[in-house]
Amino acid sequence: MTDSIKKEWENLFNEISHEDRVSSLADVLALQFLGLVDRKMELEKISKKELAKKIGTSASFITQLFRGDKKPNWNILAKMSMELGLEFKVMTEELLQEKVQEELIAYHKRWSKTQEYLKLKEQVTNPQLVMAVSQTGEDEYAMAG
């Protein structure tokens, strides 16, 4: 979201009552979970009627959930996740950024080791016999070519 849109959203959001903000946030959270459920249903080609039967509720209740007329409770979400083989994970934006940063650092370490290996391979007369092994902390790399 761009900064200007984000600021407009925050200004609009700040003008409503606390109860309305809580309700809006609850709607967003419900839609995020149901969006994941819907995607999995599409992949597995499972209809809302089939899902309702699997989790022991009515098709009309499932329709109301997906339309946003009702919010799912934790038991309904747990049943959906079990029946569809979904594993929901809760993560804050800050934690997500930390995980992304960790993955980028790990990727860069692997990339650097690959570059070292390729340079070494170019320097030898018989590149088929090159093997580079490196151990740095808890990461181990072994490449042969």
Do 119 and 61 lie in one domain? The reply is: no
User: Is 14 part of a structural domain of the chain?
Assistant: yes
Residue 121's identity, in one-letter code, is K
Q: What is the C-alpha to C-alpha distance for residues 57 and 42, in angstroms, rounded to an integer?
A: 19
- Quote the tokens at residue 111: 């990339």
User: Is 142 part of a structural domain of the chain?
Assistant: no
Q: What is the C-alpha to C-alpha distance for residues 50 and 23, in angstroms, rounded to an integer?
A: 29
Do 54 and 21 lie in one domain? The reply is: yes
User: Is 109 part of a structural domain of the chain?
Assistant: yes
Report pLDDT digits (tens) over 7-60.
Answer: 887 777 677 888 888 888 899 999 999 999 999 999 999 999 999 999 999 999
Report pLDDT digits (tens) over 81-126.
Answer: 999 999 998 888 899 899 999 999 999 989 988 888 788 777 776 6
Q: Given this model, what pLDDT does residue 141 score? A: 52
Q: Given this model, what pLDDT does residue 102 score? A: 94
Do 12 and 60 lie in one domain? The reply is: yes
Do 19 and 65 lie in one domain? The reply is: yes
Do 1 and 71 lie in one domain? The reply is: yes
Do 64 and 3 lie in one domain? The reply is: yes
Q: At what angle do helices 74-84 and 48-55 cross, to 10 degrees?
A: 110
Which H/E stretch holds residue 2?
A: none
Q: Given this model, what pLDDT does residue 13 score? A: 67
Q: Which range marks the domain in which residue 127 is found?
A: 93-136
Q: Given this model, what pLDDT does residue 63 score? A: 94
Reduced to 3 states (helix: H, G, I; strand: E, B; else coil), residue 90 is coil
CATH code, 30:
1.10.260.40
pLDDT higher at 47 or 1: 47
Report pLDDT digits (tens) over 115-144.
Answer: 887 887 777 766 566 555 555 555 555 555
Q: What is the C-alpha to C-alpha distance for residues 103 and 109, in angstroms, rounded to an integer?
A: 10
Q: Given this model, what pLDDT does residue 53 score? A: 96
Do 77 and 104 lie in one domain? The reply is: no
DSSP string, 26-78: HHHHHHHHHHHHHHHHHHHT--HHHHHHHHTS-HHHHHHHHHTSS---HHHHH
Residue 145: pLDDT above 70? no
Which H/E stretch holds residue 85?
A: none
Q: Given this model, what pLDDT does residue 2 score? A: 74
Do 40 and 110 lie in one domain? The reply is: no
User: Is 145 part of a structural domain of the chain?
Assistant: no
Do 113 and 72 lie in one domain? The reply is: no
